[in-house]
Amino acid sequence: MADPIDMYFDFASPYGYLALFRIDAIAGKHERSVNWRPYLLGAVFQHNGQRSLVEQPLKGEYSLHDLERSARLHGVAFKMPEPFPIPTVAAGRVFYFLHDQDEQLARDFAKAAMTAFFADGIDIRPRETVAEIAGGLGADVQACIDATNDQSYKDRLRDETQTAMDRGAFGSPYFIVDGEPFWGCDRMEMMDQWLERGGW
């Protein structure tokens, strides 16, 4: 089997949210597995002096329109949450905690947490909230809360963020396939073609 696709995303990234519901079909078609890698886009933006798309004049308005249109196209429920953007430290730590036990559980958690935020308007900053979401999938709620205070998961999320930055990631979703980077939900079709043709 060929190398997996690395998928970097932030729990508070709306295009990242849409990507979670699109990646399996593309990866499956080309018999690729996917490494789900949440990271902290806030740290990246701070480092690079970037601003969130929706905070920019004109682009912000357009992006909201494009997000709603894209969500309808892909059949994913979406309602721009308030407040936005938010830090996603708790969700990221819980993800890696679950990932160490069960990769599929961690993915289900990512989908559930992002759906809570982007479809149901639930604030996913509190550790209790993300732990409850994980609990709904069968995880131990208290263990999830503990993980958010655990130095090893603090370090893990920080290290994953640093690795992502070192590899050139600056957005969400950001994919790396056989060394080739694809940034954005709107480059997933091109990534699909790249996988189909083995590059060009």
Q: Decide: is 170 part of the binding site for a copy of itself (CB under 8 A).
A: yes
Q: Nearer to a copy of itself by C-beta: 71 or 147?
A: 71
Q: Nearer to a copy of itself by C-beta: 64 or 143?
A: 64
Q: Nearer to a copy of itself by C-beta: 76 or 137?
A: 76
Q: Decide: is 104 part of the binding site for a copy of itself (CB under 8 A).
A: no
- Could you tell me if 144 and 134 are in contact, meaning their C-beta atoms sit under 8 angstroms apart? yes
Task: Return the residues of window 61-100 that contact a copy of itself according to CB under 8 A.
Answer: 61-62, 65-66, 69-70, 72-73
Q: Nearer to a copy of itself by C-beta: 60 or 87?
A: 60
Which of 58, 151, 166, 198 is in the footprint of a copy of itself by CB under 8 A? 58
Partners of 9 in the β-ladder: 38
The vertex-113 CA angle with 31 and 67, nearest 5°, equals 75
Within the chain, residue ranges assigned H as helices are 14-20, 23-29, 41-48, 59-74, 89-101, 103-118, 127-135, 141-149, 151-166, 188-197
Piece of 103-111, 135-143, 152-160, 179-187 that binds a copy of itself (CB under 8 A): 179-187
Distance CA 84, CA 38 (A): 17
The closest of 9, 26, 186 to 111, measured between CA atoms, is: 9
* 3 state SS of 73: helix
Contacting positions for a copy of itself (CB under 8 A)? 48-50, 56-59, 61-62, 65-66, 69-70, 72-73, 168, 170-171, 181, 183-184, 186-187, 189-190, 193, 200
